[in-house]
Amino acid sequence: MNRNLIVDVVASSWPQPGNLPAFPSTFHRGIAQWDMNFPAMLLMTGYLTTPTTSTGVSLSEFWAWVRYLSAVTPDPDLRLTNSFSELDAHQKTILSDDFGIGAPLLWLSERFDLDRIVDGRYFVEYLAPRLGATQQRTAKRGPNKTPDFVARDITGLWHVIECKGTQSGSGYSARQLGEEGPPRTGGIAQKHSIIFPAGHTGQRLVSGLQIGVPNGQPSRLTIIDPVSEDPFQVNEADMAIADDAATRCVISKALRQSGYEVAAEAMASPRDDVFFAQRRASKAFSDDAAETDRRDERAREELGSRERTVQFAEDYVGRERQFMLPRPVIVDGNPAYRVILRQGLRKEAIEEMQSNPSIDGLVSESGSSWASELGSSVSKGSEGFASMTIGNLFRSEIILEE
């Protein structure tokens, strides 16, 4: 299920040669066609929209694969069906936001070796003050909203990414991307809300996905990087805390997608005194040490249980879900009626996490061997199949069957 997508990288929005950030060597300049694997995009969307710290069932566990598989036409380019393009405004916004996250992060993961993709709000609220990174406030909307994601690549550079999506045409998409101002508007303003220290700053990107509708313009993904203010210096010890935040966010999402919800909460919310000092103020987490002990015990029981778990791809343990689609989708000329979704972590990593679910202090100093299994996020797809892996630690698969 590949779909063509126009990708417009506005090279003129980068600083002149000799200034930072430099235009990435893996990016093309101007307009090019991207052959995007749609199921792989849905795997990326489901992963990115999985919450890091909240409990309860997440729509991302089911939503993308059941609903969105039938949202696109059989046309060679990415285009919504009539029924999905005519949804009410609220439902259209949800779809546009989800596609507007999944498509650009899939494109970026194919061009950067990203080994950590972190929710911007999680990063800012709990860890940015320890880094010296600055932010105006953690609004959920408007120009001071935290950017959608920060992502670290294997070279240690951090990229700030703000994502926009719309079905309302190229004009509205341009307004979402924003302007330098003053005042700054749209995504341009939001991606300025986190500034990393010199030597750790990568790209500050704003993406805008305009989704094609029947008889309308084709889908277009626009990538820009407006000139940003100079970052300031912090020491390497503070950046170790940033790495720890990213590691915990990635593992929490992987655990939650694999069916280990209590363990995910423990990993995202260690009992470190600094963390609890911040969380008491926000009332978001309990500061009761006994309650934390009980949570860790439940996490050990959850990780040790093999009920409702499956083993797949030789050494990954997690869960499998099978769905009957509300209507068939065409895969390689044949109708597919069923979806199989598998998500899991390496068995050895789960067994190691069972002994220490939350890890006090930095993960990198805990001696946990599973942390070395983290690596680049890689998505691959063919007709009727797609996979997403994070190093040798996490694997997600989607299979379409007749």
pTM score: 0.85
375 domain residue, yes or no? no
* DSSP state string for 25-46: TTSPSEEEEEEEEHHHHHHHHH
Stretch (H or E) spanning 287: none
Domain with 21, as residue range(s), is: 2-237
Q: Which residue has the tokens 């235009």?
A: 23
- Please state, in angstroms and rounded to a whole number, the distance separating the CA atoms of residues 97 and 176: 12
CB atoms within 10 A of CB 378: 16
pLDDT tens for the 402 residues of the chain, in order: 899 999 999 998 888 888 888 999 999 999 999 999 999 999 999 899 888 876 555 555 565 666 788 889 989 999 999 988 887 777 778 888 899 999 999 999 999 999 999 998 888 776 655 655 554 444 444 444 577 899 999 999 989 898 887 655 455 445 545 455 554 544 444 444 577 777 888 898 989 999 998 888 899 999 998 655 443 334 566 788 889 989 999 999 999 999 999 999 999 988 654 444 444 444 444 456 777 889 999 999 999 988 778 999 999 999 998 888 878 888 888 899 999 999 999 999 999 999 999 998 899 999 999 999 999 999 999 888 999 999 999 999 999 998
Region for 215 from its dihedrals, namely left if φ exceeds 0, alpha if ψ lies in -120 to 50, beta otherwise = left
| Residues near 29 by beta carbon (within 8 Å), at least 6 away in sequence | 9, 11, 23
Position 331 in a domain: no
Closest CA to 371 of 276, 277, 282, 248: 248
Domain membership of residue 317 (yes or no) is no
- Crossing angle, helix 261-268 and helix 236-257, to 10 degrees? 170
Kindly report the CA angle at 125 between 123 and 130, in degrees rounded to 5? 75
Domain count of the fold of the chain:
1
Q: Write phi, then psi, for 295 (nearest 5 degrees).
A: -65, -45
Q: And the tokens for 216?
A: 């309308």
User: Is residue 130 situated within a structural domain?
Assistant: yes
397, part of any domain: no
Place of tokens 């950030």: 21
Residues 6+ apart with CB under 8 A from 54: none
Residue 190 within a domain: yes
**182 cis-preceded (ω within 30 degrees of 0):** yes
Q: Does 231 reside within a domain?
A: yes
Is 284 part of a structural domain of the chain?
Answer: no
How many Å separate Cα 7 from the centre of its chain?
Answer: 19
Say if CB 22 and CB 14 are below 8 A apart.
yes
Strand segments (E) across 120-199: 149-153, 158-166
Check: CB of residue 241 under 8 Å from CB of residue 235. no
